[in-house]
């Protein structure tokens, strides 16, 4: 009643079972999911308290099982319970394992979310060693491709910052202790200390494909730290004035531009339904 998958299975002629495939005179269907997941799945089908696994990766395995067996009602309920339940924070290995489970289970929204969470952790064979058996098919290749595209967008964004276009026209020529340095940018360009900050992140982004990625939410704090260090070391009078008038708006513009550029990156697995089937085309 809950699963067209099993409804179809029981409607087909069955081979004569051997003695080891019969319990109490009934044929046994052997499933690949473990007892904990199947117990949770069955609890979603009856008017009894549902049993959701305590770990996030087990909950994802349960969600994938409901999709595999085409249990639409159970799938909606499990998804809602996962969204409302507070799980312990994922470690790096748990994040990669959860991504692998979502990929093998063809869970698009979870794939996208978890792919982004993996960016906070290194991606090397040494780091992933114990989790590699969890990856099936093209899951690892897709994650590598996602990471590369994310890196490319991050690099392009910092390169655009160094090209001195909007919103950098708030900055005038930096005046350190009353002296304008020849190495300072032209009027209307960001001060040299700000360019150094962007160049640092550009270099790190180019070279650190396997390392944790820069979080756009940190750009404001790093900007303020760089500005404070500049003021203390150079007794600058012009940059503090610019910051007082436009600093908050400027930081917001930087964060928004980084966030938009990185939000455009998607995993290459796209799922859609066509006559009840799922497809995974290249993009």
pLDDT digits (tens, 9 = 90+) for 102-123: 998 888 889 999 999 999 999 9
> Using CA atoms, how far apart are residues 169 and 142, in angstroms rounded to an integer?
39
pTM (whole model) above 0.85? no
Cα–Cα nearest to 226, from 253, 267, 186, 195: 195
Residue carrying structure tokens 């179809």: 8
pLDDT tens for 120-133 read 999 998 999 999 99
Number of CB atoms found within 10 A of residue 218's CB: 12
Q: Tokens in use for 255?
A: 């964060």
Q: Which residues of the chain have pLDDT under 50?
A: 177-188, 269-283
> Using CA atoms, how far apart are residues 222 and 228, in angstroms rounded to an integer?
10
Residues in the chain: 283
User: Residue 7 has what pLDDT?
Assistant: 85
User: Residue 268 has what pLDDT?
Assistant: 62
């Amino acid at each position: 009643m809950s699963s067209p998958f099993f409804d179809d299975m029981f409607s087909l002629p069955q081979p004569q079972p051997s003695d080891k495939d019969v319990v109490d005179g009934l044929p046994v269907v052997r499933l690949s999911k473990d007892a904990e997941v199947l117990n949770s799945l069955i609890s979603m089908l009856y008017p009894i308290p549902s049993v959701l696994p305590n770990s996030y990766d087990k909950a994802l395995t349960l969600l994938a099982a409901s999709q595999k067996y085409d249990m639409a009602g159970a799938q909606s309920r499990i998804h809602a319970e996962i969204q409302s339940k507070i799980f312990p924070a994922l470690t790096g290995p748990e994040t990669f394992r959860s991504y692998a489970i979502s990929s093998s289970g063809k869970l698009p929204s979870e794939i996208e979310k978890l792919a982004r969470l993996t960016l906070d952790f290194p991606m090397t064979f040494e780091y992933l060693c114990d989790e590699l058996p969890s990856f099936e098919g093209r899951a690892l290749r897709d994650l590598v491709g996602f990471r590369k595209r994310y890196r490319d967008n991050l690099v392009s964004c910092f390169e655009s910052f160094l090209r001195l276009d909007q919103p950098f026209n708030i900055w005038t020529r930096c005046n350190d202790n009353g002296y304008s340095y020849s190495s300072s940018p032209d009027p209307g360009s960001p001060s040299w200390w700000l360019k150094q900050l962007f160049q640092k992140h550009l270099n790190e982004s180019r070279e650190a494909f396997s390392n944790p990625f820069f979080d756009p939410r940190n750009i404001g704090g790093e900007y303020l730290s760089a500005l404070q260090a500049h003021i203390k070391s150079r007794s600058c009078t012009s940059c503090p004035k610019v910051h007082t008038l436009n600093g908050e708006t400027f930081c917001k513009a930087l964060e928004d531009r980084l966030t938009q550029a990185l939000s455009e990156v998607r995993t290459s697995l796209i799922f859609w339904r066509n006559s009840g089937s799922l497809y995974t085309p290249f993009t």
